[in-house]
Each structure stands twice: as C-alpha cells, then as structure tokens.
Amino acid sequence: MLGAGTRWHIAATPASVSLRAILRALAAMESPLMRLLGLVLLVATSVLIFGLGAILLLVTHPAVLPMMPPPQDPHGSHIPVGLMFARAAHGFFTIAIVSLISFNFVMCVVTNPGNTDFLGPELARVKMAVAVASVTRLRQGPQRNPEARGEGDSERNRTADLVQDDDWNQSVNGGAGASNGRQEEYVQLLVNGGDSAQLGMGSDDCDSYGVLEMRMCKTCLLPKPARAHHCRVCNKCVLKMDHHCPWINNCVGHFNHRYFTLFTTYAAIGTLYFTLINMPVFYDIFLSGKVRDSKKHKSYRIPNIIRLDVYLLFCTLAGALSIMLTVLAGLNLYYVCTAQTQIEVLENRWLQNMARANGGTFVNEYDVGTVRNLRVHLNVRRNDWRGWTAGLLRLWPRGPVGDGVHYTRVSTVFSAASGSNDRDFA
C-alpha cells in the first residue's frame, strides 16, 4: 500500500523529450523564420502597391471614365468638361495616394524604431560621473559655517573632522585605511547601483535620461525606459514598442510609429477607392458573364496591356485588403488617440481592473486628450491647416516628439512652469 508520504516520480518519456526538443528548436528558429517571412511580405507589399497604382492609371482611367456617353454633334463627338475634370481628378488623386502610401511604407521599413543600445554606455558614463563627484564631495567634506551651526551640531562636526582627516583621505585613495565604515557604505552604493541622491549629487547633474532609476532588461542586460519592450525577433529592446510587423519586416516603435499610422490609413483609403471605382468593371466582366471580346452588350473595354485574370486578381485582393486595412487603421488610430500602444492596451486594462477592484481610478499619464494625442503622434505643433497639412501630407522625413525616453505627459503639457516643447500642444 502507498503511504501518505509517498512521492511520485514520473519518468520523462521519449515522446515528451522529443516534443521539448522540437519546441526549443522552433523557439530558436522563430527569429530567422520571421525575418524570412518579413522579406517575402516586403516584396509582396511592394508589388501590390505598384500593381494597384498601375491598374488605376493604365486600366481604370481609360476603362471607366470614357464610358460617360459623349454628346454627338454634326462635326463628331467631343469630350465634355465634366469628363475632363473627372479624368484629371482621378489621375491627381491616384498619383497622390500612391505617393503617400509608397513614401510612408519606405519610411516604415528603413527607419530605425529606436532601441536601447545607447543606454549601456550612458549608464557607464553616468555611474563614472557620479562616482567622481561623490569622491570629490567626500574629500572636500561639508562646508563649515560657524554662524549657522549651533551647539546641537556636534555629530556633524565630528563627520567633517573625519572627512578632513588624513586617514580618511588615504582610505578614499585606496590606502591602508580602506576599512573605514563610511567608505564601505559608499562602495556598496556604487556596487548595488545606488541612485544619484544616495551617491551625493542631484539626478539632473549628469543623468539626463534617468538611467539610474530605469529597469534592467533580463535579455539584453541594458536599461529599459518606460514604454520600452524587448522584441524576440529583433532581439533588442524597442523604444515605445507597438508590435513587430512582418509586412514591413521591422518593429513599430517610437521613431517610425507615425509613418506606420499614415501608411495604414492611406493604404486603407487607396484600396477602398480602388475597390469602389473598379466595382462596375469587375461586376460587368466577372459576375454578369460579359467579357471584353464579346461583340454584344460590351459595356467596358479593358486595355490589352493587362491580362483579364491579373486584373480580376488585383480586384479581389484590393477588396479583401480594403476591409482588413480599414479595421487595422481604425484600431491603430484608436490606440493613438488614447495614447496607448498595442502592448499598453493590455497592461492598462489590467491596471484599470486592479484600480476598480480597490475602489480607485486608473489614469493614463500619457493621455492628454484625443486631439492633442493625435497632434503629438503626428508632431503637429501648429493647430491650424498649415500644421495639419505638414503633418499629414508631408513627403519628407519628420521626426516624432520626444527622444524615446521622455514622453509627453499631462503634467508637462498643462504645467505653466514647464519649459519643455510640450507646451506647444496645450
């Protein structure tokens, strides 16, 4: 019989061992597989953008717009003014939307989203500066002021005498008196990563990024600022990481999030426009059974520069992509207008539930209002038509607000004493 203290030992079966090995192998292959998939999707996205733009200009332009019946006159037919205006508007809009999609897509791919590689040397520099300043202060000792010092300052007097003592100076310089208690405490602060105040100087003196107060990433072993997360595909901590997008083969982070927002928005508009304007042609050719070579009931004439099956393929892809991109762009705009990333949505939801359970209210410190959040995201500092035009239709690089470590907060926008550029969005 089995007693109460009997322990069960379950031996690992060959099947479980092989399954673990397969899972470890797949985890190791995740990054190269995602990179390979990203390259394939990158080429596919480029072909789609070029193909949709070419069809809009070379196929839809002569196929749809000339179907407006021109009036007949004794001297022949002529193109009405309305048709000429429609053709010009269609050509201008097509070139503009394809240019905006292409530019923001390229910027999403080539722009570094921002990583924490620069914070490693920054942490070493700050600790060295703090150490030098702390040693200098310990050598100099506190400033003596006989008039302001009272009789109750005997302990401080003894400390000043200790600092100015030759034995203490030798201990600071690594001499025989290295067993001094205050120096041991100071060394422990350095080893354990004490903050600037403990080490004897203000945090604004040399630590402009605040690396001494940051968390440390367990994977890349570098300081991790607020809103930064580690990407397993890129194997780096990405500043203000939103997600890793295989369609651009890059992470969406602080420095390319604006381009990603504009790319998805314009791509949704472009595919939706392509679907709507080509819907009569698609219906006439594919659904009603009419082909371009039929002599009866020929409503639309497709140019011979493109195969019929290729045209139908692009119409089908555009219809599916218009739905997908509209949902994606809508969700991304919602996150932007609420000052959240896709990762922070889950974190903030958990914090909101915890606050509600404890009778409190969760407040997102980065949420400065819907319109202000959009202006900060697009770097629209002038709240007029010129500012919005530059933020939405600009075809040259435009950096984000902030450096990826410091972000716009409610306190920096609405604080009258704030000297930062965040006051531009108030």
Instruction: Say which residue, 289 or 212, is predicted with more confidence.
Output: 212
pLDDT confidence of residue 371:
92
> Is the CB of residue 70 less than 8 Å from the CB of residue 78?
yes
SS3 271: helix
pLDDT confidence of residue 101:
96
Percent of the chain exceeding pLDDT 90 equals 35
pLDDT confidence tier of residue 29, bands split at 50, 70 and 90: confident
Provide the residue type at 244 as one letter. Answer: H
* 179: pLDDT strictly greater than 50: no
Kindly report the number of other CB atoms within 10 A of residue 375's CB atom: 22
- In whole angstroms, what is the distance from residue 164 CA to residue 141 CA? 7
pLDDT confidence tier of residue 23, bands split at 50, 70 and 90: confident
66, two tokens: 């000339």
Beta-ladder partners of 251: 244
Torsion of CA 286, 288, 291, 292, to 10 degrees: -100
pLDDT confidence of residue 202:
44
Of 347, 290, 287, 351, whose CA–CA distance to 319 is shortest? 287
Give the β-pairing of 76-77 and 72-73. antiparallel
> Is the CB of residue 411 less than 8 Å from the CB of residue 423?
no
- In whole angstroms, what is the distance from residue 106 CA to residue 248 CA? 8
* 303: pLDDT strictly greater than 80: no
Beta-ladder partners of 252: 243
What pTM, to 2 d.p., does this model score?
0.76
Ordered DSSP codes for 122-159: HHHHHHHHHHHHHHHHHHH-SPP-TTT--TT-HHHHHH
Q: Report, as an integer, the average pLDDT of 80-92.
A: 82
pLDDT confidence of residue 186:
45
Provide the residue type at 38 as one letter. Answer: G
- In whole angstroms, what is the distance from residue 55 CA to residue 61 CA? 8
The single residue listed with the structure tokens 């100099």 is 140
pLDDT confidence of residue 141:
61
pLDDT confidence of residue 88:
85
pLDDT confidence of residue 13:
60
> Is the CB of residue 366 less than 8 Å from the CB of residue 336?
no
Q: Report, as an integer, the average pLDDT of 120-141.
A: 79
The single residue listed with the structure tokens 């060959």 is 14
Instruction: Give the pLDDT confidence of 88-117 residue by residue, as tens digits.
Output: 888 899 999 999 999 999 999 999 999 999
pLDDT confidence tier of residue 17, bands split at 50, 70 and 90: low
pLDDT confidence of residue 126:
84
Instruction: Say which residue, 129 or 259, is predicted with more confidence.
Output: 259
> Is the CB of residue 197 less than 8 Å from the CB of residue 131?
no
Instruction: Say which residue, 420 or 202, is predicted with more confidence.
Output: 420
* 337: pLDDT strictly greater than 90: yes
By the 10 Å C-beta count (0-12 exposed, 13-18 middle, 19+ buried), 29 is classed as exposed
Instruction: Say which residue, 209 or 352, is predicted with more confidence.
Output: 352
CB environment 64-86: b (16+ within 10 A), e (fewer): bbeeeeeeeeeeeeeeeeebeee
* 27: pLDDT strictly greater than 90: no
Provide the residue type at 356 as one letter. Answer: R
Q: Which residues are the active-site residues?
A: 245
* 343: pLDDT strictly greater than 90: yes
By the 10 Å C-beta count (0-12 exposed, 13-18 middle, 19+ buried), 27 is classed as exposed
Tell me the average pLDDT of the chain: 77
Q: Report, as an integer, the average pLDDT of 298-323.
A: 81
pLDDT confidence of residue 194:
46
pLDDT confidence of residue 70:
47
Instruction: Say which residue, 349 or 202, is predicted with more confidence.
Output: 349
DSSP element (H, E) containing 26 = helix 14-55
Q: In whole angstroms, how far apart are CA 395 and each of 56, 97, 104, 194?
A: 21, 11, 8, 47
pLDDT confidence of residue 419:
54
SS3 115: strand
pLDDT confidence of residue 387:
87
Instruction: Say which residue, 97 or 148, is predicted with more confidence.
Output: 97
Angle between helices 154-164 and 119-140 (to 10 degrees): 110
- In whole angstroms, what is the distance from residue 259 CA to residue 74 CA? 55
